Structure 1
Amino acid sequence: MPSTALLTDHYELTMLQATLADGTADRRCVFEVFGRRLGGGRRFGVVAGTGRVLDALADFRFGEDEIAFLRRQGVVDDATCDWLADYRFTGDIWGYPEGELWFPGSPVLRVDASFGEGVILETLILSILNHDSAIASAAARMTIAAGDRPCIEMGTRRTHEESAVAAARAAYIAGFAATSNLEAGRRHGIPTAGTAAHAFTLVHDSERDAFASQVRALGEGTTLLVDTYDITQGVATAVEVGGRALGAVRLDSGDLADVAQATRAQLDAAGNTDTRITVTSDLDEYAIAALAAAPVDGYGVGTSLVTGSGVPTSGFVYKLVSREGADGRLVGVAKKSKDKASVGGRKTALRRLTSRGVAEAEVIGIDVKPRDDGDDRELMVPLVESGERVSTSTLRDARERLQASLRELPAAAKRLSKGDPAIPTIYED
């Protein structure tokens, strides 16, 4: 795999150079990833991207090409280049597993390492977690709004090509059934789906010719796109060509609720009671919720998904919260800036639950393990120990974990309207 070492900011390495020179690069430190607030007035966030962080960490190596670039550009001095050439992460990483929920202050990821080893990981870790968690958080709201109806991710053409693969992965964690992105299918084992666009209809001499070609190629169970011209006529032609075994029709324009009602009536009148209706067209969680009473069987979601539905980043930061003191012990350190203050000390976390298993609070221990009253659930798991990856969590695990975590939330947490976090964050020391 290509090196991920230069997917970072210039100042990560200049800080390293200075601390190597003054001797503080070897100080034991604790860095933590957390968000100060939930974007967009949302009531919970979803952790995604942890697995990709661990993959990227394995490829965080400064090879000959990377070192040559740093020397040529004069980014850092020769001593720092020599140190980087031998770089291997040897510390520990704990964090919330993928599919877990997060709230303001949640220690989503904790890096225990020397300052030098930990500081240069900041940008790589944040770029992955901020993107993937934003997508998963939006996708979770969409799947909640969709209920039992499946959602398909189809936003590849609306974002960067690699972001599209990551977005498909995050959406799958959040409960999406499939993706249109073939690379996401190959790389991550996500089911893929897709049939035809309007161009397919337009290249044929008639809509009937296009539908007949598609049915011959893909079988009667295919999905026909019926709104290239007139929807009513398109549905009639689809039924004539596909027969009662026609799998589905797709609607991509108009007032989807009204059009779906009319299409359902037309299909049922023709005897196509088993033919499903899939809708697309710039859907987000609000549009999906508005279609709850419509006779819709599935949703295709693109632009809103891959842009986080208006919240394109999770707002995570990566802060030094503890460092080795003169006596060799860790001492908490914190940023005091107005509106950007952090809480010092090494954190652990649990979710406080009632005796009925309903979440009450995010409890964060500062340099202590939070008190478990007997019904609570620990949140952080080991991901890397002494530089070696120990996490074996799969995407299926993450999907199941998210559903279990959502079931713990109070009912109001799943509302789409803006509000406070579903549960408060409590610190214990």
Structure 2
Amino acid sequence: MTHPGHSTALMTDQYELTMLDAALADGTAERRCTFEVFARSLPHGRRYGVVAGVDRLLESLARFTFGPEEIRVLCDAGVRDRVAAYLEGHRFSGDVTGYPEGELYFPGSPVLSVTGTFAECVLLETLLLSILNHDCAVASAAARMASAANGRRLIEMGSRRTHEEAAVASARAAYLAGFAATSNLEAHRRYGVPTTGTSAHAFTLLHDTEADAFAAQVDALGVGTTLLVDTYDISRGIETAIEVAGPGLGAIRIDSGDVGVLAQQARAQLDRLGATGTRIVISGDLDEHAIAALRAEPVDAYGVGTSVVTGSGAPAAGMVYKLVEVEGRPVAKRSSSKESRGGAKSAVRRHRPTGTAVEEVVHRLDTPVEVGEHDRVVPVPLVTKGETATDLPTLDESREHLRRGLVAVPWEGLKLSRGEPAIPTTFVP
């Protein structure tokens, strides 16, 4: 969903303008170039990455314009007159191809290719990387959590653990990756992400007794609500919850303690009280490893906060933005441990007839490779001559695309343990 907002043109680093200034001075600013976004490696212990934030990126690119206010800020920052004059009314007019949202990526995958003049492409580095590094990190962590949950419901509830705008983007990325809902209402307004939420410990403490708090919530929301039972004593809280709501209570939530043991005890107690259909929701510092450890326990849903909005230990996806082609000539960085591969590229995902992915083949556009019956060209056109494609998938379609993509990953590639990427990347010179 596109939402109104101010220009994104100042969401950049000044060194981009320093390069633009020098390129305007020596006449190289208009050289046709291709920049690529890729990750040299996956975060430690990860076997795949998930592309997210493409829709946000395209919406931000459409607002990357320099109006009078942006020009005034540039002048205040000491930018030279020739740069300000060049940028006045500027709008990106080049081409962008890339991996669609919900696509898996691996080391070296050409996640995004931006082609245009050096001047217009170099300006986009910071904006593109800030979106992709954040959203891909969140989605990659969320996908691991969804796999660990093994079909059980996941709720994103990390808004209070990150920047207010990052919270909205995180909710969207988590939903893309398989979470069922978010607590963040702005994510619903902008992107249609389903929302949910009941109460915190403060609501229980507000009332004279736990029973009063539960009764107030049930009166307002009905017996299908979720009651938080760990403010005082969990066993007594469950008993009180069923006394107040009856055996048709929708769910209880446990937010502290040894949640695995507590879930077992809660399930046994609920069943004894006749509340066999009352679900158990667990929250409190969960990550993919904690969720996986709870697979054998009678847990119906997980609420995840800090770990998902911070990428579960990998808050940035490690994406870089590198110049790979100038006027049709491949160029590459040679610095030790930071090498890049020259030439504009594409990628083919190879599959067995059964649908299992076996290899990612990255090749230069001037060295095409054969695409077999079961193979798939991964990058798609996103922007052509400055115009955004109109046939891009919706958020729910991207969510389904990721689900299918994960089914195609070899089973060992879905493990949470450390190991090689789920499929190897082969580079064709």
Give the letter for the 2:101 counterpart.
E
C-alpha displacement of 1:86: 2.3
- In structure 2, how many angstroms separate the alpha carbons of the residues matched to 1:341 and 1:73? 33
Give the root-mean-square deviation of aligned CA atoms: 0.8
8 Å Cα contact 2:350-2:357 kept in structure 1: yes
Letter of the 2:253 partner, please give it. Answer: R
Partner of 2:335: 337
Deviation digits for residues 205-229 of structure 1, max 9, x if unmatched?
0000000000001111000000000
Summarize the alignment of residues 127-206 of structure 1 with structure 2, pairs less than 5 Å apart: 127-206=130-209
Deviation at 1:40, TM superposition (A): 1.7
| Number of corresponding residues | 423
Matched, 1:95 2:68: no
Equivalence for 1:252: 255
TM-score by length of 2: 0.98
Q: In 1, Cα distance between the equivalents of 2:70 and 2:374?
A: 50
Match of residue 283 from structure 2: 280
Match of 1:361 in 2: 359
Partner deviation per Cα, 1:230-251 (whole Å, 9 max, x = no partner) = 0000000000001011100000
Counterpart position of 1:411: 411
Per the TM alignment, residue 372 of structure 1 is displaced from its structure 2 partner at its CA by: 1.5
Identity of aligned residues (%): 61
- Aligned residue type for 2:205: L
5+ residue gaps, structure 1: 325-329
Q: Does 1:70 align with 2:74?
A: yes
Aligned to 1:327: none
Tell me how far apart the structure 1 counterparts of residues 301 and 354 of structure 2 sit (CA, whole Å): 33
- TM-score of the two chains, using structure 1 as the length reference: 0.98
- CA distance in 1: counterparts of 2:397 and 2:373, whole angstroms: 25
Match of 1:50 in 2: 54
The alpha-carbon deviation at position 370 of structure 1 amounts to: 2.6
C-alpha deviation, 1:88, in angstroms: 1.1
Distance, in Å, in 2 between the alignment partners of 1:394 and 1:375 is 25
Do structure 1's residue 399 and structure 2's residue 421 form an aligned pair? no
Partner of 1:3: 7
Q: What is the Cα deviation at residue 260 of structure 1?
A: 0.4
Please show how residues 206-355 of structure 1 align to structure 2 within 5 Å.
206-324=209-327, 330-355=328-353
**Contact persistence 2:252–2:278 (CA under 8 A):** yes
Question: What is the aligned partner in structure 1 of residue 377 from structure 2?
Answer: 378
Structure 1 position 80 matched with structure 2 position 83:
yes
Instruction: Find 2:27's aligned residue among 23, 36, 42.
Output: 23
Q: Counterpart amino acid of 1:282?
A: D
- Deviation per CA, 1:237-289: give whole Å up to 9, x if none: 00000101110000011111110001001100111000000000100000000
Alignment pair present for 1:35 and 2:39? yes
Shift of 1:63: 1.3
Deviations 1:29-49 (A, max 9, x none): 000000000002210000000
Letter in 2 for 1:23: G
Provide the C-alpha distance between the structure 1 equivalents of 2:190 and 2:220, rounded to a whole number of angstroms: 26
CA distance in 2, matches of 1:361, 1:196: 47
Deviations 1:169-224 (A, max 9, x none): 00000010000000001111000000000000001000000000000011110000
- Does structure 1 conserve the Cα–Cα contact (< 8 Å) formed by 2:45 and 2:416? no
1: CA distance, partners of 2:199 / 2:91:
47
- Partner Cα separation in structure 2 for residue 320 and residue 345 of structure 1: 9
In the aligned structure 2, how far is the partner of 1:405 from the partner of 1:148? 16
Hey, what's the Cα distance between the residues in 2 that align with 1:23 and 1:41?
45
- Cα distance in 1, alignment partners of residues 306 and 335 from structure 2: 36
